[in-house]
Structure 1
């Protein structure tokens, strides 16, 4: 097939969508610019597809579903492993695309954004090969079957990682998909689509339609031939998708916002607990839904925490994401930059203690959506900066007087996506972790585990991604009574 974006260059127009294994022209004449957030220059134009384009993609996926669902497990696993291989082979151009479309530092794109995305594919193939799609319960067979055609809606902050976290388990389960990547960061999605085709995934199994949420996202959510919608995005977007999907009673999986706590227990070694906490809160320039942006610390150790936190942030290098010395690039787009600036201003007006950072751009970075890593202390739970998701390099430090209060503060949020606990007494750390209302809790900064299910309590969503549970989201359960007679 023709490679539509073999090389990234300025002002390129991508007016095709992937339907039924072919790059075809969209019926739309509308486009949106893809902006490099480091210099605010237009690097590409992406077509904004129509509802008719969605119909064509869904039709292709529906036609391909019976054959893909019947494809032997070993063959599906082999093809997924080929996708994994191609991601690794093309890692550098993928990292370049991610850096240019959403501003990730190249070092971070190469060491996290791309390899973690590849891991989702490898894990999906591994889980598929060993999964018991049928087992007996007495004389009844419990079968798990692919749910059907899935609409997948992914965000701009981890553009490739979130795609593979959905596409890989869906394909492993035997589903066919229509992907709508963010129109703000679509380049890595186009490169991934090339990889899927080059890996030999059958035509129609994977389809890509670029466009906006109100047009393409809503069309997918409401489409009668879509059996499931999975979205990663804001809580507001998740609510709109759920409402749109309700009339057709399709399954909806939501991975939404967060305001994750990081509880520093009284016995924690602050030199081990605070620096990684600051780094994690600002990882990906704070543009991660599970970022631990509320550091909850013992009041009698607040001054020491403040000192270590400020010293840690001072080591960050904000600048050109293509410079190997840069640790933190720009905010991904203008709207998010303005949101971050607004929320920093809110924190100052609320009377929180500003340890470092603040509004405005770092000195010497007047062009681009660069923000100062910002830390507030002496924050109380009623402050907006303790409750609202900022989605930028902003950390708030909240003091507590007892472990009971620390747990209450951790749970004082409408969200429940991720959480952290730091302490040397593991029994106490486990007990606190067990009391936090969150879909995932990390004790003492463990290594990332792609097999650990990820998803939210409360307004952080429903359903799970990653690991076996991530694949099971795309499966229906069928009971066949009398399958094995007495």
Structure 2
């Protein structure tokens, strides 16, 4: 990977017009993992011009051409699979097994799923005898992606946009941009036409703002915090472009009386801690009946006690470090707020694990006796911090579950699937997982992903993800013989 300080624009690696060197820090050892360039509005403009020039031909490409290109991307990706996983571990601290089995694997699945959906998708149909409804690519798409699933989120957007016939200008997070550079190399090797995919590294206030405000970008697809999402939407409003957003979450995990606590509680704790808690749909609020609170807390404590935190390259490590010092400081602060507001610290707390004095490692932390109005029950922490809240009955549980600004995901454990379904239907969230529905199945990249309320708008994955990159045109007087 020799292109870290360059940008990929119009099918070639080019020097920035006005780049500033920026070190990417390996969070496991606080050493430099690579150096990139932070770009400027001028770099974005050059990328947008390339994407606009390519849109005319790519938007009219045949389904067969797009299917062939997606197959080529899949083959090129598979050849560099292990390298990509290692880069993800170096840039954001994901344990290597997780980078391979989940991060890198799910990214590949997005390209496979886009190809599967495209194969059978009908871009036009008749409405009666005289009106033809056509779905057309929306145009040039600006994609602003996060550091927690760095290459997965690029693929979730770009695979669907490519299948739809769009072109793209991508800004990965400057905190974890190296896997995006590898992906650009993969796309080049696969033969993506010049200008269809363009990558400009940079920060949000400069490159992100230039993308969202650019008058020749037709749509912005953003994944990140709700705070940043609001800024993107405001900037995009001047040009009335479509804005697709996947934002924050504070997902509730309702465990009902009758559920198998020995199964439900450990599963909930470990799902909360997945990716070191740096997942927007993590079940960070565990809701349990007040009569079962003591038993649940003890099971949760034992589960967290067994979690291995350490070197992401070491076998047996479940939690690596947080991605950056800024994230480490934020999580430490919010743990302190939880203690100050009176929640009971079950395990963990502030500071690094005792045997780790370097790297952005945190102690897996569980709070009990958490009230719904506490900061740790309302704000997204983005670390391995679980809040356990108690409820008196099902109506109370639903009220607590829906009582945040967010609505990305929800989880239900019940003694019967029928009971879990009934509760899930009452939760205001874009995805509901029932009785431990496994993560990483095909359905994860086939089912729509997105949120209610301040968790965003629009959907990614499957047919719904493809259609988010399409416009609808009605042609009246289009008679058929």
Q: TM-score, normalised by structure 2?
A: 0.98
CA distance in 1, matches of 2:312, 2:324: 14
Q: 3-state DSSP class of the match of 2:141?
A: strand
Q: 3-state DSSP class of the match of 1:236?
A: helix
Contact 1:88 1:115 (8 Å CA) reproduced = no
Of 11, 23, 31, the residue aligned with 1:41 is 31
Alignment partner of 1:438 is 2:429: yes
**After the TM superposition, which residues 369-384 of structure 1 pair with which residues of structure 2 at under 5 Å, given as runs?**
369-384=360-375
Q: 3-state DSSP class of the match of 1:484?
A: coil
Contact 2:417 2:435 (8 Å CA) reproduced = no
CA distance in 1, matches of 2:272, 2:300: 11
Of 112, 115, 139, the residue aligned with 1:122 is 112
Aligned to 1:484: 479
Q: Write out per-residue CA displacement over residues 136-180 of structure 1, whole angstroms, 9 at most, x where no aligned residue.
A: 110211110000000000000000111100110010100000000
For structure 2, list consecutive stretches of 5 or more residues without a partner in the other structure. Answer: none
Q: How many residues align?
A: 476
- Per the TM alignment, residue 425 of structure 1 is displaced from its structure 2 partner at its CA by 2.0
CA distance in 2, matches of 1:451, 1:280: 20
Of 186, 194, 206, the residue aligned with 2:185 is 194
- Per the TM alignment, residue 484 of structure 1 is displaced from its structure 2 partner at its CA by 2.1
Task: Give every structure 1 segment of 4 or more consecutive aligned residues whose post-TM-superposition deviation is greater than 6 Å.
Answer: none
CA distance in 2, matches of 1:355, 1:84: 45
Aligned to 2:72: 82
Q: 3-state DSSP class of the match of 2:425?
A: helix
**After the TM superposition, which residues 326-365 of structure 1 pair with which residues of structure 2 at under 5 Å, given as runs?**
326-365=317-356
Aligned to 2:385: 394
- Per the TM alignment, residue 85 of structure 1 is displaced from its structure 2 partner at its CA by 2.2
Aligned to 1:8: none
Of 2, 5, 10, the residue aligned with 1:4 is 2
Aligned to 1:456: 451
Aligned to 1:11: none
CA distance in 1, matches of 2:454, 2:19: 37
Alignment partner of 1:155 is 2:153: no
- Per the TM alignment, residue 311 of structure 1 is displaced from its structure 2 partner at its CA by 1.1
Q: 3-state DSSP class of the match of 1:290?
A: coil
**After the TM superposition, which residues 82-481 of structure 1 pair with which residues of structure 2 at under 5 Å, given as runs?**
82-139=72-129, 140-448=131-439, 449=443, 450-481=445-476
Aligned to 2:6: 16
Q: 3-state DSSP class of the match of 2:221?
A: strand
Aligned to 1:60: 50
Cα root mean square deviation, aligned: 1.0
- Per the TM alignment, residue 411 of structure 1 is displaced from its structure 2 partner at its CA by 0.3
Contact 2:143 2:157 (8 Å CA) reproduced = yes
- Per the TM alignment, residue 485 of structure 1 is displaced from its structure 2 partner at its CA by 4.8
For structure 1, list consecutive stretches of 5 or more residues without a partner in the other structure. Answer: 6-13
CA distance in 1, matches of 2:77, 2:94: 18
CA distance in 2, matches of 1:66, 1:271: 57
